[in-house]
Structure 1
């Protein structure tokens, strides 16, 4: 079996040559994108996204119009018209977990009263049970080291357990979406436990979910061997889930959701594709890069409090001379936000609180220093069409580290939250019965004559 697996991962000299042939035939002169006014990444030269749809689900603001000019301003994020800062402020002041409440808002367009919230929670809790034998027969078989792939495989397999998997009527799709919202924590965490046991040789813990716990509490309960957690840990995880729950219809994974939903494919295929999008390091996988970057920074800095030494390391990052040589300072900058990412603003105070409780004050001080220095260094070295600031990924990985969460689950936790936004966007796409999404690509290669086999060189 081991020998057979190795065959699949060998890149032979022939494959190397064929890959070079692919590259040679596929590369496109960058000047042509300008000539034909192609919006690469569906964004214009100023970074503004091409308008491809309308949505009620959420709104992001990062600029303001002054005397006909578009100027950057502090970013704001709204869920169904309500500022996410107010949602978190309200739940914090009233001392309650709010993931389920905000999920209701995103799905149904209004905040629930107490009875509506209780009924919604009861419906979600009803779906927390996986099909009989699913953990044994699916999750425990061929565990993967990548939890996003494990999550995607489990979601696709649930299609086979659904009596009406292809029915795209709104009641049926809502039922499927609520089931996946409820099940994502179990699918990802059980997948990790299987990997941790079979690949890493550690003890196997499969705790059954509890229907009396919030989603944030349930995640910690399922993951930890002793199922224990503090109130602060669960509250900060709840806030993290809310901040990651939704971010407009144009982000890569939500656009993927709209794209596939427009073809009227099934919910499981849509969500598996969205998971695949979120997995990428340019999207949901960014917080892992932040953690790895800071680990490298901490190992290479002699004095974490020295502005000059920290700045010198950041300069090396941008020059491609440090960490992964990619020329990036991970967690700094965003496609939309310029002056500030509201999610990072909200998160920062809670992160500082947890750092103090957990004994990570020194690490937090370094994060705070980089958050100040990095935008200055980037703006000096690179021509910017807008400002730059730290984003939510800058802090989220640090929070997961302080919570003692395994790095394999960092991006799946993002998915546990974003499944709500994906569900809202899928419902919206289907409710409007729009056209299949089909943007245009311009063919630029010359027409070629067919050459018979005996005349080919």
Structure 2
């Protein structure tokens, strides 16, 4: 037993940290920076992206089809090229987010070359920083790596635009490599498997680089790389209000260095209410697949969903993970695109039945919510409903789902940091109201009972 065990820290944890819930409503506190109708508190203006999911009319929130635009371009249009010779889009999307316009072929080639040139890590970094004291979470390794790269920057505290761009491009380039190396370091430490360290291949896209470094035999199908490229595009950006991007802007407003800001964003994305939610989705889907004997029977699927909503199944929270979103109401454009490509990848494979099950969950959940809770709120599948399924079809381990999200979102984080540096110009400092009002008299130590 440690000395801390003798304190009241454990027994009084809930009591000491509990705030009377009436205080929140009485002071009109925007809990979670949300308005009473669920909309987000307006905290800024951005030119980077627009996340649209509803309309406002006379103070009422009206459900609408979802749309996501990067720098004014609809996500559907950016991914519309379905030709057999289709190029990879992620680098083009990253360029658009960072520079504000679509590149010419020459500009894109130059941008790709700049990313390609920075994949190398400092000498000895893998052995000393990734393989040593490897933690069980790859997201923690990514955050730690981001902080440690500060020590290898000759001028880490510079806020010069050139330095900001160089750091962003280096992390955009290196995070995928660190992710794969961390995956094998983790398996070597905790599962006793071999440490595989493939060299990256010059000239490969980000999606190709990830697959070629991840696969032991370095083999992948072009369709797999294109699907992974689509997933990176879907996760590259999602407005300034999502938790990890807002975290980036908060730390940037404090005028901290880029490594610290991006490390904090990685820590935020790990959260189970944010990027880490995809782990909950996969776990729920696995339990449902085991519990439901006939996946094509709507009644049996709906019955199990009802058990989840009644807090009788899965994690007893009453949440059907993969359904619902803070902004999207009728549809999540990322989920629609992900489902469309998943249908192509699953066609003619044993995965088809599994995909139909997830489509049934998407279709039946609003009905279940209505029958169990009487809810009439518009609800759609979010991108996590299908993203884990797509990754699993490609043989990508579950532990890499959120890190892949992070590798893609690095582009959006950097764009928002740049914008905050140029246009924010004020440290973010919201107010917290003290719940107590009376001054407590001080009692000397020996007189306390």
State if a TM-score over 0.5 links the two structures.
yes
Alignment match, 1:207: 198
Shift in CA distance, 431/384, structure 1 to aligned 2, threshold 3 Å? farther
Cα displacement string for residues 411-448 of structure 1 (whole angstroms, at most 9, x for unaligned residues)? 10000100110000001111125100000000112321
Alignment match, 2:266: 275
Tell me how far apart the structure 1 counterparts of residues 340 and 412 of structure 2 sit (CA, whole Å): 25
Question: What is the SS of the residue equivalent to 1:19?
Answer: coil
Pairwise CA distance, 1:358: 4.1
Tell me how far apart the structure 2 counterparts of residues 61 and 454 of structure 1 sit (CA, whole Å): 61
1:453 matched to 2:426? The reply is: no
Checking the alignment, whether the CA contact within 8 Å between 1:170 and 1:431 is kept in structure 2 is no
1:152 matched to 2:138? The reply is: no
Shift in CA distance, 64/206, structure 1 to aligned 2, threshold 3 Å? same
Cα displacement string for residues 298-325 of structure 1 (whole angstroms, at most 9, x for unaligned residues)? 1111211111111110011111111111
Q: Which residues of 2 match residues 19-98 of structure 1 at below 5 A?
A: 19-65=10-56, 69-90=60-81, 95-98=86-89
Alignment match, 2:96: 105
Question: What is the SS of the residue equivalent to 1:18?
Answer: coil
Alignment match, 1:4: none
Alignment match, 2:281: 290
Write out the 4+ residue segments of structure 1 that deviate beyond 6 Å after TM superposition. Answer: none
1:196 matched to 2:187? The reply is: yes
Alignment match, 2:350: 359
Shift in CA distance, 385/262, structure 1 to aligned 2, threshold 3 Å? farther
Q: Which residues of 2 match residues 253-332 of structure 1 at below 5 A?
A: 253-332=244-323
Alignment match, 2:212: 221
Tell me how far apart the structure 1 counterparts of residues 34 and 109 of structure 2 sit (CA, whole Å): 42
Alignment match, 1:171: 162
Question: What is the SS of the residue equivalent to 1:320?
Answer: coil
Checking the alignment, whether the CA contact within 8 Å between 1:80 and 1:110 is kept in structure 2 is yes
Shift in CA distance, 98/45, structure 1 to aligned 2, threshold 3 Å? same
Alignment match, 2:227: 236
Name the TM-score, length of structure 1 as normaliser.
0.95
Alignment match, 1:3: none
1:404 matched to 2:395? The reply is: yes
Q: CA RMSD in A?
A: 1.7
Question: What is the SS of the residue equivalent to 1:78?
Answer: strand
Question: What is the SS of the residue equivalent to 1:71?
Answer: strand
Judge which range, 54-63 or 253-262, deviates more: 54-63
Question: What is the SS of the residue equivalent to 2:68?
Answer: strand
Tell me how far apart the structure 2 counterparts of residues 142 and 86 of structure 1 sit (CA, whole Å): 44
Tell me how far apart the structure 2 counterparts of residues 437 and 92 of structure 1 sit (CA, whole Å): 46
Q: Say how many residue pairs are matched.
A: 448
Pairwise CA distance, 1:22: 3.2
Gaps of 5+ in 1: 1-6
Checking the alignment, whether the CA contact within 8 Å between 2:144 and 2:263 is kept in structure 1 is yes
Tell me how far apart the structure 2 counterparts of residues 433 and 71 of structure 1 sit (CA, whole Å): 31
Pairwise CA distance, 1:452: 0.6
Checking the alignment, whether the CA contact within 8 Å between 1:43 and 1:49 is kept in structure 2 is yes
Shift in CA distance, 67/109, structure 1 to aligned 2, threshold 3 Å? same
1:117 matched to 2:108? The reply is: yes
Checking the alignment, whether the CA contact within 8 Å between 1:170 and 1:430 is kept in structure 2 is no
Pairwise CA distance, 1:454: 1.4
Checking the alignment, whether the CA contact within 8 Å between 1:304 and 1:310 is kept in structure 2 is yes
Question: What is the SS of the residue equivalent to 1:435?
Answer: coil
Pairwise CA distance, 1:20: 3.2
Could you tell me which of 425, 432, 442 is aligned with 1:434? 425
Question: What is the SS of the residue equivalent to 1:20?
Answer: coil
Alignment match, 1:250: 241
Could you tell me which of 345, 367, 380 is aligned with 1:389? 380
Checking the alignment, whether the CA contact within 8 Å between 2:54 and 2:327 is kept in structure 1 is no
Tell me how far apart the structure 2 counterparts of residues 209 and 431 of structure 1 sit (CA, whole Å): 35
